[in-house]
């Protein structure tokens, strides 16, 4: 299943289907509905093999996502039994013999409805890679994996949380557990949530926490375990498959995935760009080196404007739509035809300290060694000239509360895990939210071993890609002398790369300044060109009416002036918010 909506109160047949199908602008999925004196449940068809709903006389069990089952083989991924995976999870659960943090790996949500007791159990994965939202009042309890669908069916769609809207514009996320709706909240990660519907009670029990407990004294041992975890995750999925795909780039994460994928399987490597450039040329060489078929798909200059409505509705408000890079390509490249499509999401976040704040300069000058900034705080007062101070103070309070929550179990690394726990605090996670609804997306760096290693190693091992490099080095021999798009050689450690990365960085900068290198050389579009385009101006005119619903929070009333006072990321976020306020 891709999404579900559950309601304790019975909902008219067809209404929940309408809301789940409303997520999609085209190719609307089949939806199964279940009704009884326990309430109503609707589930859209799961595109991962073996995970359709399973019903007995006592229970209805659904599994969202395509988790790797670690207590048995996963051969059902290639079988015709469309409930094999769900039944396996259900039988472990009903036998009270399941360990959620060990038996399932990767993104998932499990929901079990007890038709006799009317209780409902919802289990979230280690990081809430698939978030679950709840609406609760004195009469009803409703939960869903899509925030806007839940808002519509619960009658909360017009009750927007203006502080969360501002939060999203400024930061690209909505601070946990809040949502873009006043009366909807997000359920906690790595937890078993039990709804005793007759008593209108919710009990939540964490089955795992990313406690700051260093479990490794040797970086080599941690790297060995990391390699094994990635190998086991990928091997469990690809066993028996004859045709798979992956996303390739000019970076090192996709090279590692390329090396780990089985060589006796047809492997197609895809990259999406404005046109062939430095990123694409390096990616093509990497694909050839690892024996994959390279495929370049090009996008229009206004691609990220064109997909705004469809992808905003697909991932839901409060999630950055622009990370769904695959939209439209999922059809033109026929990604849904593959048994599995592998990405490299969250390698930087979990293994390379992307969310550790470094001393100034390392972003602008990537050849400099990474050093943690000691006095940085995510809880400092938020200031902005375009929003009023009252709203900003409330937002600051929410972020302080979340930081204090994280500090309960991560004293030294709270600032890092502020943006990791749950994963909805990471602005890049909508990449998964979109992909998993479009094709069989698998993210090896979301395997349980990767998460647990990330939580139990020193931050110093993540900086300068120390842990990642030791784990990945054996797989980089085939591309030993192939540059990373950022100018370093992934095969070598950071200290060896300082000089070559500086030289390549300097050459790239000079070539750009004197005009030898022209055009966009990276994986994203050129946002400067996008914001100067006529199409961007048209969107401002089309969606500017949404500003009226932000009047209580803003200091600038003119739409164009408002946009000019924001950075590039905030401009995208504001446009997305205006779309949701104007259109929906």
Which of 245-249, 286-290, 389-393, 515-519 is least confident? Answer: 515-519
Question: What is the structure's pLDDT at 335?
Answer: 98
> d(Cα 351, Cα 356) in Å, to the nearest integer?
11
Domain locations along the chain: 4-206, 219-355+422-514, 389-418, 527-583
**pLDDT of 385 higher than 70:** yes
**Which segments within 80-199 are labelled E, that is strand?**
104-105, 109-114, 119-124, 133-136, 141-144, 184-186, 191-196
Supply the pTM of this predicted model. Answer: 0.96
Question: What is the structure's pLDDT at 509?
Answer: 85
Question: What is the structure's pLDDT at 1?
Answer: 58
**Which segments within 250-298 are labelled E, that is strand?**
266-273, 293-298
Q: Answer for the pair 105, 233: CB distance below 8 angstroms, yes or no.
A: yes
Residue for token digits 């996709």?
A: 254
Question: What is the structure's pLDDT at 366?
Answer: 85
The per-residue pLDDT of the chain, averaged, comes to 95
- Quick check: helix, strand or coil at residue 320? coil
The model's confidence at residue 371, banded by pLDDT at 50, 70 and 90, is confident
Question: What is the structure's pLDDT at 222?
Answer: 98
Buried b / exposed e across 268-299, counting CB within 10 Å, b at 16+?
A: bbbbbbbeebbbbebbbebbebbebebbbeeb
- Quick check: helix, strand or coil at residue 92? helix
User: 138: exposed, middle or buried (C-beta count within 10 Å: 0-12, 13-18, 19+)?
Assistant: exposed
Q: Token pair of 326, please?
A: 């695959």
Question: What is the structure's pLDDT at 511?
Answer: 83
Helices 568-583 and 534-543 pack at an angle, to 10 degrees, of 40
Q: Read off the pLDDT of each residue in 36-50 and give the average, rounded to a whole number.
A: 96
Q: What is the CA radius of gyration of the chain?
A: 23
**pLDDT of 391 higher than 80:** yes
Question: What is the structure's pLDDT at 520?
Answer: 81
> d(Cα 470, Cα 341) in Å, to the nearest integer?
26
Q: Answer for the pair 578, 308: CB distance below 8 angstroms, yes or no.
A: no
Q: Answer for the pair 148, 133: CB distance below 8 angstroms, yes or no.
A: no
**pLDDT of 481 higher than 80:** yes
Q: Answer for the pair 85, 75: CB distance below 8 angstroms, yes or no.
A: no
Question: What is the structure's pLDDT at 132?
Answer: 99
Q: Which fold has domain 4-206?
A: 3.60.20
> Strand 243-247 to strand 341-342: parallel, antiparallel, or no bridges (unpaired)?
parallel
Buried b / exposed e across 442-475, counting CB within 10 Å, b at 16+?
A: bbbbbbbbbbbbbbebbeebbbbbbbbbbbbbeb
Question: What is the structure's pLDDT at 219?
Answer: 98
The overall longest dimension of the chain from CA atoms, in Å, is 74
**pLDDT of 491 higher than 90:** yes
Q: Token pair of 397, please?
A: 């309070």
Which of 85-99, 197-211, 285-299, 442-456 is least confident? Answer: 197-211
Q: Answer for the pair 306, 300: CB distance below 8 angstroms, yes or no.
A: yes
Which of 179-183, 268-272, 499-503 is least confident? Answer: 499-503
Q: Read off the pLDDT of each residue in 80-97 and give the average, rounded to a whole number.
A: 96
Question: What is the structure's pLDDT at 361?
Answer: 78
Which residue in 119, 141, 157 sits closest to 10, CA to CA?
141
219-355+422-514: in CATH 3.40.50.620: yes
**pLDDT of 200 higher than 80:** no
DSSP letters for 485-536: TTS--TTS-HHHHHHHHHHHHHHHHHHHHHTSS-S--SSS--HHHHHTSHHH
Q: CATH topology of 4-206 equal to that of 219-355+422-514?
A: no
Percent of residues, the chain, with pLDDT higher than 70: 99
The model's confidence at residue 64, banded by pLDDT at 50, 70 and 90, is very high
Residue for token digits 């839901």?
A: 316
Which residue in 5, 106, 137 sits closest to 423, CA to CA?
106
Number of H helices and E strands in the chain, helices first, is 23, 19
Mark residue 201 as left, alpha or beta (left: phi above 0; alpha: psi -120 to 50; beta: remaining). beta
- Quick check: helix, strand or coil at residue 545? helix
Percent of residues, the chain, with pLDDT higher than 90: 86
Question: What is the structure's pLDDT at 370?
Answer: 86
Residue that wins the pLDDT comparison between 225 and 513: 225
- Quick check: helix, strand or coil at residue 465? helix
**pLDDT of 583 higher than 80:** no
| Phi and psi angles of residue 294, each rounded to the nearest 5 degrees, phi first | -80, 135
Residue for token digits 């400092």?
A: 380
User: 567: exposed, middle or buried (C-beta count within 10 Å: 0-12, 13-18, 19+)?
Assistant: exposed
Question: What is the structure's pLDDT at 488?
Answer: 94
What DSSP state is assigned to residue 275? S
List C-alpha distances in Å: 378 to 53, 166, 413. Answer: 41, 16, 12
**pLDDT of 582 higher than 90:** no
Which of 167-171, 230-234, 298-302, 354-358 is least confident? Answer: 354-358
Q: Answer for the pair 1, 51: CB distance below 8 angstroms, yes or no.
A: yes
Which of 361-370, 396-405, 472-481 is least confident? Answer: 361-370
**pLDDT of 519 higher than 80:** no
Q: Answer for the pair 305, 535: CB distance below 8 angstroms, yes or no.
A: yes
Question: What is the structure's pLDDT at 584?
Answer: 56
Q: Answer for the pair 573, 320: CB distance below 8 angstroms, yes or no.
A: yes
Q: Token pair of 36, please?
A: 């009884």
């Amino acid at each position: 299943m891709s999404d579900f909506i559950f309601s304790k109160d019975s909902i008219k047949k067809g209404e929940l289907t309408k809301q789940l199908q409303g997520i999609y602008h085209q190719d609307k999925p089949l939806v199964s509905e279940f009704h009884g004196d326990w309430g109503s449940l609707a589930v859209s068809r799961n595109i991962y093999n073996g995970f359709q709903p399973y019903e007995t006389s006592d229970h209805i069990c659904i599994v969202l996502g395509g988790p790797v089952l670690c207590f048995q083989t996963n051969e059902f991924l290639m079988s015709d039994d469309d409930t094999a995976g769900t039944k396996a999870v259900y039988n472990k659960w009903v036998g009270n013999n399941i360990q959620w943090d060990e038996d399932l790996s990767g993104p998932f949500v499990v929901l079990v409805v007890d038709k006799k007791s009317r209780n409902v159990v919802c289990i979230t994965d280690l990081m809430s890679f698939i978030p679950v939202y709840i609406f609760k009042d004195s009469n009803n309890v409703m939960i869903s994996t899509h925030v806007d669908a839940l808002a519509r069916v619960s009658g909360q769609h017009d009750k927007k949380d203006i502080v969360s809207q501002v939060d999203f514009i400024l930061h690209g996320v909505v601070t946990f557990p809040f949502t873009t709706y006043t009366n909807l909240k997000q359920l906690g990660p790595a937890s078993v949530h039990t709804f005793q519907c007759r008593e209108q009670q919710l009990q939540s029990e964490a089955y795992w926490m990313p406690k700051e407990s260093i479990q490794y004294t040797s970086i080599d041992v941690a790297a060995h375990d990391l390699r094994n975890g990635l190998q086991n995750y990928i091997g469990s999925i690809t066993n028996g498959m004859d045709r798979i795909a992956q996303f390739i780039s000019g970076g090192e994460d996709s090279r590692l995935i390329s090396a780990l994928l089985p060589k006796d399987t047809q492997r197609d490597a895809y990259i999406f760009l404005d046109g062939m450039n430095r990123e694409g040329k390096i990616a093509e060489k990497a694909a050839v080196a690892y024996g994959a078929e390279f495929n370049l798909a090009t996008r229009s200059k206004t691609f990220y404007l064109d997909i705004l409505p469809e992808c905003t509705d697909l991932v839901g408000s409060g999630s950055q739509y622009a990370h769904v890079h695959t939209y439209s390509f999922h059809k033109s490249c026929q990604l849904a035809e593959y048994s599995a499509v592998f990405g490299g999401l969250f390698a930087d976040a979990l293994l390379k300290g992307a969310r550790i704040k470094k001393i100034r300069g390392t972003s602008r000058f990537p050849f400099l060694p990474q050093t943690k900034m000691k006095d940085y705080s995510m809880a400092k007062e938020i200031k902005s000239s375009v929003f009023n101070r009252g709203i900003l103070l409330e937002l600051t309070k929410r972020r302080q509360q979340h930081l204090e929550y994280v500090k309960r179990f991560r004293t030294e690394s709270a600032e890092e895990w502020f943006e990791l726990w749950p994963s909805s605090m990471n602005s890049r996670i909508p990449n998964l939210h979109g992909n998993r609804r479009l094709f069989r997306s698998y993210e090896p760096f979301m395997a349980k071993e990767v998460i647990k290693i990330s939580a139990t190693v020193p931050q110093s091992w993540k900086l300068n890609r120390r842990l990642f490099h030791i784990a990945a080095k054996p797989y980089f021999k085939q591309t030993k002398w192939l540059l990373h798009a950022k100018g370093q050689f992934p095969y070598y450690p950071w200290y060896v790369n300082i000089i070559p990365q500086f030289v390549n960085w300097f050459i790239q900068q000079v070539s750009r300044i004197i005009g030898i290198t022209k055009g966009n050389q990276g994986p994203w579009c050129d946002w400067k060109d996008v914001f100067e385009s006529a199409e961007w101006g048209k969107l401002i005119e089309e969606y500017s009416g949404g500003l009226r619903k932000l009047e209580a929070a803003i200091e600038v009333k003119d739409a164009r002036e408002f946009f000019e006072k924001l950075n590039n990321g905030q401009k995208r976020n504001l446009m997305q918010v205006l779309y949701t306020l104007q259109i929906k």
